[in-house]
Amino acid sequence: MLIAAELRNLIAPAQLAGLDVTWMGADAPTPKGEWLAIVPLLSRWVGGTELKHLPNLRIVANCAVGYNNIDLVAAEMRKIIVTNTPDVLTDATADLTWALILACARRLSEGIELVKSGLWAGWHPELLLGLELRGRTLGIVGAGRIGQAVGRRAVGFGMRIAYAARRPRPDFERDTGATRLEIKPLLKASDVVTLHVPSTPETKGLINSETLSLMKPGAILVNTARGDLVREEALVFALETGRLGAAGLDVYTDEPEILPRLKAAPRTVLLPHIGSATADTRREMARIAVANVRAVLDGQPPLTPVVP
């Protein structure tokens, strides 16, 4: 099997016992050959060409819950199973989403810069005034595992919760008092909008100049899902003109490249795609990816097949 070399420290040798492993370097192209399984990172595109050059492949075990780096149609045509790593990263990613919400609402980046610059002149009643979250509305776009986990945390902060989803989530509504809205009314009603849909042809560019113009003046946008959900030029414009209150981002369209204008834009909190980055979660993600490989090579059903 082929495994991303970056996972080496996260996988105990016993987990790989009996498997013939070739480690793939981050910058190396996907090897061609007789391998039966591949465990890529989300940064590796696995498309028709790569699959064609792995003629014996039986499984792509993505080490992520998102799978927009894999051509599912090409995999299906070759009867290759695709798996992901759901659930184990839900809490870590929901926590990081809240880190961004709080950092934006309470202007943490500006505060940290002020202290480090040595320019802080002491307590002032109007220094870095932020947004009080209690009583405000959190708009969740995509109420799957992570979206709901973010919503459940919002109860503790006293926020009202709105969510946009293709189907209702009665348990979530009952537990949190959340209200289901169409996307446009949700954008109009929310003080904080947080994105939790996967990147698909339908969701790409969901946040653009038109949808940004629907948001409340001064609202906060948080994205820990995928970068291409947001048209970054439009986001930068909304920040530069003061239309948007703040943006907290963990993901970018062309990561690790980030638009220079986005890096320079005011009122941003920019993180390097660390949503699931806790030691426990990353170990679990690697464990599940390898367990999926083992199951499929043993002729068993995969533990966590991708269901598009």
What positions carry a catalytic annotation? 226, 255, 273
Query: Least Å distance between CB 299 and ligand NAP?
Result: 27
* Cα–Cα dist 216/219, whole Å: 5
Beta-strand (E) ranges in the chain? 2-4, 22-24, 37-39, 59-61, 81-83, 137-141, 160-164, 179-180, 192-195, 220-223, 246-249, 268-270
Q: Is 201 in the site for ligand NAP (CB under 6 A)?
A: no
Query: How far is it, in rounded angstroms, from Cα 190 to Cα 136?
Result: 8
Interface characters, 4-33, with ligand NAP (x: CB under 6 A): ------------------------------
Judged by CB, which is closer to ligand NAP: 160, or 196?
196
Q: Give whichever of 105 and 251 is closer to ligand NAP, judged by the CB atom.
A: 251
Q: Which of 145, 188, 204, 261 binds ligand NAP (CB under 6 A)?
A: 145
DSSP designation for 64: S
Residues 268-287 that bind ligand NAP (CB under 6 A): 273, 275-276
Interface residues for ligand NAP in 162-181 (CB under 6 A)? 164-167
Contacting residue, 86, 139, 151, 302, with ligand NAP by CB under 6 A:
86
| Residue of closest CB approach to ligand NAP | 144
Contact string (CB under 6 A) for ligand NAP, positions 96-135, x = contact: ----------------------------------------
Q: Give the largest Cα separation in the chain, rounded.
A: 67
227 is a site residue for ligand NAP (CB under 6 A): no
Distances (CA, A) of 91 to 8, 76, 250, 283: 24, 31, 15, 14
69 near ligand NAP, judged by CB under 6 A: no
Picking from 152, 239, 143, 236, the residue whose alpha carbon sits closest to that of residue 196 is 143
Asked if 235 and 221 count as a contact pair (C-beta separation under 8 A), the reply is: yes
Report the residue number, 80 or 96, with the smaller CB distance to ligand NAP: 96
Beta bridge partners of 248: 222, 269
Is residue 294 part of the contact set for ligand NAP (CB under 6 A)? no
- Nearest Cα to 213, choosing from 188, 193, 194, 230? 188
Count of residues touching ligand NAP (by CB under 6 A): 31
Cβ of residue 250: shortest distance to ligand NAP, in angstroms? 4
Q: With binding defined as CB under 6 A, does residue 289 bind ligand NAP?
A: no
What tokens does 78 get?
Answer: 């070759």
**Residue given tokens 């009314």 in the structure block:** 185
Centroid of chain to Cα 245: 21
Q: How far apart are CA 8 and CA 179, in angstroms?
A: 44
Candidates 72-80, 219-227, 236-244, 294-302; binding stretch for ligand NAP (CB under 6 A): 219-227
**Of 1 and 100, CB closest to ligand NAP:** 100
Determine, following the binding rule CB under 6 A, whether residue 83 of this chain makes contact with ligand NAP.
no
Cis peptide before 256 (omega within 30 of 0): yes
Residue 119 half-sphere exposure toward CB, CA atoms < 13 A: 7
Beta carbon of residue 63, minimum distance to ligand NAP (angstroms, whole number):
11
Helix (H, G, I), strand (E, B) or coil at 91: helix
CA distance 139 to 142: 10
- Judged by the rule CB under 6 A, the positions of this chain that interact with ligand NAP are 65-66, 86, 89-90, 93, 142-147, 164-167, 196-200, 202-203, 224-226, 250-251, 273, 275-276
